[in-house]
Chain A
């Protein structure tokens, strides 16, 4: 007798109500060691690995990969050794999800298990005409075979009969009378297949104009299709995946409910570019302009703490540290993992942290903690050649900074002469419920001052 226990949909955060089984990493019935990767589970924001807490095996996998289940739903049955079907079925029958959401058992009905077995199903009498395999299945599932009409020789019940009996019935076909008149009887004298005639009738093709290429010169489906005017190519329809749906829902909510306003400014970054070149050379780092901007943003947020906020209903949360979400484009969509305490990190350290997050994001392996929280977002499209854009606030944060490309601009210098200089433009989108124009302006002024005096971006020695 194997010891069985449930593997249910975990709950990783207070907001998590459901998760998707992205992939089963072990097969049913194959033993695994402690720490083995059992499954990948996706939530709104992340894909997490579920590791085995103890050696064992999955006696039965209940949840299908790709399906979404409420928290607490039974996903699989863990066993410490080989378990019989009857044991597993009995366990299934008694399993009650621990979760209080009331989302009992498995979500969808189409893959629902067959009629639940009685705890101790009576053995089928010996004199019933039933094949051995059918008997085994019927006993394991507790199926009443007296109700099954046998399709085998002399009414013997076959495995297929039992399998049919335990499957849920298909929706019945039928209802209002239909017409079975052949609508194209008038074109019956053409040597064409019924499908070709049907298509010709539906699409108004004159079969007299079609040359048959089928057997013995018969007009077939392909002949009619090729004689039809090519239909205009329709759009390719792709349903939104999980990540895209979350992006869509959150951004719609943000743009519709947050009173955005926008402040634009630009900074001269010749000194910053030179500083970055030297720093990367001396420190052997690969910090990007954006890493410097994240660092500058962090310092500016500490300087103007009224911009370092989250908005929760009627409450404004002020943060002591600058936890900056960095917008990243991945194949799976936009993600905004967080560089925490960026005000304490050198540009080099920001670069390392950002790089690590980007690698995880591209693999779809960001953890919940790496996505949760943050008081401010930096979104940079400069590397794509965008000069200037307005970003949508990432709720519940109070503001987002949109950074454009470095441009070479002719400008007046301190001595009154003219020269080319490098500039970066940015737009600050603010939630007016928490941040007023003057506060946003102070933040931008602080940011600009930091970027134009880049030595301040390095911690004092």
Chain B
């Protein structure tokens, strides 16, 4: 076990995988040096520092700095994957997934299906998402709900450095396209990371806290929010079962339903706006499959139905927070 930040865990995982498998290559904007340089001493390795040193080690054929064109990044990655490579494509801001939506939605997600299983498209797309950086509406969104709804894509959201390593390893080795969502605010999160080969299978939720009164289902950045809420509520004698979905597609329904059957009360925490969100999707699944176990209507804690505001005060009011989760827990407990 080594202490490292999530950005280090991601970088080390990519480095280790690229050393292991020569077919792995990386594409993205500014991933080589940043500031218009081609590497060298001043290279910072992408604005997120998740590719520092890779260009020096693996060269220009495997670490490709692209023009500012998401469709070019994902389109090239799709072609390379069909031709036998294992590309890791980086979208510096997940918000711009709309620019390359055809490549993702109509091409990558459909190849295996349309070619009767005879082709595969092992692309890993890393998307940097999330609010909290005063980055305004076009650079702060949590778009994973929209992509979770698309068949043919696996959607992964690590919430700790260890999970980032285990899930990214799995994503790179997976023969199907995987969307790997990295929250900006988690890059600096420190944690123990297992050494050596470490894979976490998809569709395998993580139990973060263990309590018997209320189930909190969440993922990504919101896991930390739920943890803080659960720890505070535990001081008052309220036990929360916090479940980190880890992957919203495939979804670990069993882990969620097992817990809801025990608690009968559930709060869903999601950084997306409420409509057609992961929270509403999971709430519907619970209502559908565990109706008899429910003692109160599921409560959702989501962002409001609004673009992410620029003003700091508004942005912090926009993002689901521990006090909002605590309120929701109290609400499901008070239901009579």
Point out residues on A near B: beta carbons under 8 Å. 164, 167-170, 172-184, 188, 191, 193-195, 197-198, 214-216, 218, 220-221
Contacts and interface: CB of A to CB of B under 8 A. Distances in A.
Contacts of B210: 180-183, 198
A272 B204 CA distance: 82
A168 to B, nearest CB: 7
A100 B335 CA distance: 38
19 contacts: A168-B336, A170-B334, A170-B335, A170-B336, A173-B213, A174-B236, A174-B237, A177-B234, A177-B237, A178-B237, A182-B207, A182-B208, A182-B210, A193-B258, A194-B258, A195-B254, A195-B259, A216-B201, A221-B258
Contacts of B252: 193
Interface of B: 201, 203-211, 213, 230-231, 234-243, 252, 254-255, 258-259, 262, 333-336
A194 B336 contact: no
B238 A174 contact: yes
Contact of A177 (B213, B236, B243, B255): B236
A409 to B, nearest CB: 64
A177 B235 contact: yes
Given A164-B335, A169-B334, A180 B236 contact: no
Given A193-B258, A198-B210, A215 B238 contact: no
Given A168-B336, A169-B336, A173-B333, A197 B238 contact: no
B334 A214 contact: no
Contacts, number: 82
A221 B261 CA distance: 13
Contact of B237 (A164, A167, A173): A173
A302 B88 CA distance: 107
Contact of A180 (B239, B259, B262, B333): B239
A182 B240 CA distance: 11
Given A169-B334, A169-B336, A195-B259, A178 B238 contact: yes
B251 to A, nearest CB: 10
B240 A215 contact: no
Contacts of B205: 194
Contact of A178 (B203, B234, B259, B335): B234
Given A214-B254, A218-B254, A180 B334 contact: no
A167 B208 CA distance: 34
A146 to B, nearest CB: 19
Contact of B336 (A164, A215, A220): A164
A178 B211 contact: yes
A181 B336 contact: no
Shortest 9 CB-CB contacts between residues of A and residues of B: A195-B258, A175-B237, A180-B209, A174-B237, A194-B207, A167-B336, A180-B234, A182-B210, A180-B211
Contacts of A221: 258
Contact of B255 (A172, A175, A180, A194): A194
A195 B255 contact: yes
Nearest to B205: A194
Given A173-B213, A193-B254, A216-B203, 4 more contacts: A172-B333, A178-B238, A180-B211, A194-B255
B143 to A, nearest CB: 26
Nearest to A220: B254
A18 B223 CA distance: 56
Question: Which residue of A181, A182, A188, A220 has the most chain B CB atoms within 10 A of its CB atom?
Answer: A182
Contacts of B239: 178-180
Contacts of B259: 194-195
A194 B234 CA distance: 19
B204 to A, nearest CB: 6
Question: Which residue of A183, A188, A193 has the most chain B CB atoms within 10 A of its CB atom?
Answer: A193
Contacts of B237: 173-178
B206 A188 contact: yes
A216 B206 CA distance: 16
Nearest to A199: B258
A184 B209 CA distance: 10
A176 B236 CA distance: 6
Contacts of A180: 209-211, 230-231, 234, 239-240, 242
A236 B191 CA distance: 51
A141 to B, nearest CB: 15
A133 to B, nearest CB: 18
A218 B238 contact: no
A188 B198 CA distance: 13
Nearest to A167: B336
B253 to A, nearest CB: 9
A198 B254 CA distance: 14
A182 B207 CA distance: 7
A178 B230 CA distance: 10
B305 to A, nearest CB: 12
A167 B239 CA distance: 25
Contacts of A170: 333-336
A392 B223 CA distance: 69
Contacts of B240: 180
Contacts of B243: 194
Contacts of A164: 335-336
Contacts of A167: 336
Contacts of B213: 173
Contacts of B242: 180
Question: Which residue of A170, A176, A220 has the most chain B CB atoms within 10 A of its CB atom?
Answer: A170
Nearest to B243: A194
Nearest to A164: B336
A177 B201 CA distance: 34
A343 B207 CA distance: 79
Nearest to A188: B206
B79 to A, nearest CB: 30
Nearest to B242: A180
Contact of B204 (A175, A179, A183, A218): A218
Contact of B209 (A168, A172, A182): A182
B34 to A, nearest CB: 37
Contacts of A218: 203-204, 254
Contacts of B258: 193-195, 221
Contacts of B208: 182
A175 B243 CA distance: 23
A173 to B, nearest CB: 5
A193 B230 contact: no
B234 A179 contact: yes
Contacts of B203: 215-216, 218
